[in-house]
Amino acid sequence: MDCNQSLKLKAGDTIFTNLYNPMFKLILDDVGEHDLLHPCCRPEMFDFFYQNGAGHPNCLENINKSLGKQYPIIQPVNLFIHTKINPDGSISVEQPLSKPGDKVVLRAEMDVRLGVAACSVSESKCNGGKCSPIRIIVEEKNTFS
């Protein structure tokens, strides 16, 4: 966020690591609305907001499982999550603006191990109340310009 001096991402922006190294370049963005504020959902979040954390699928555990390592905190880029900053400073997660087939194209600017999770919060407006699959395509180096 601070490298781009914005709470929004747009085509042409770079996503940086927490050590300020360029990690991804955002090449194409069909939606233009992504959340940079919320942490990964986790059992404690489900307990706090919905009283159902025990055994509920969540991004933190899903990403840690896919990476084969336990990170206590993951600061994600929540692609397609529509977060609104209200005039009083409060934030709210709204209905998604994305629709089936929408995409983002990222170009890796460094070697990365990428953990990806499709949102499992069916209790919220973040995914329209319905969890749905996502498709990830990894292309060979230098495919996108």
pLDDT of residue 55 exceeding 90, the answer is: no
- What pairing do the DSSP bridges indicate for beta strands 82-85 and 91-94? antiparallel
Distance between CA atoms of residues 56 and 49, nearest Å: 13
pLDDT of residue 106 exceeding 90, the answer is: yes
In the chain, the N- to C-terminal Cα span, in Å, equals 24
pLDDT tens by residue, 114-123: 888 888 887 8
Name, in order, each residue with C-beta under 8 angstroms of 82's C-beta and a sequence gap of 6 or more: 33, 35, 93, 94, 95, 96, 97, 126
pLDDT of residue 145 exceeding 80, the answer is: no
Most confident stretch, 22-26, 57-61, 65-69, 124-128: 22-26
pLDDT of residue 104 exceeding 90, the answer is: yes
What's the pTM? 0.82
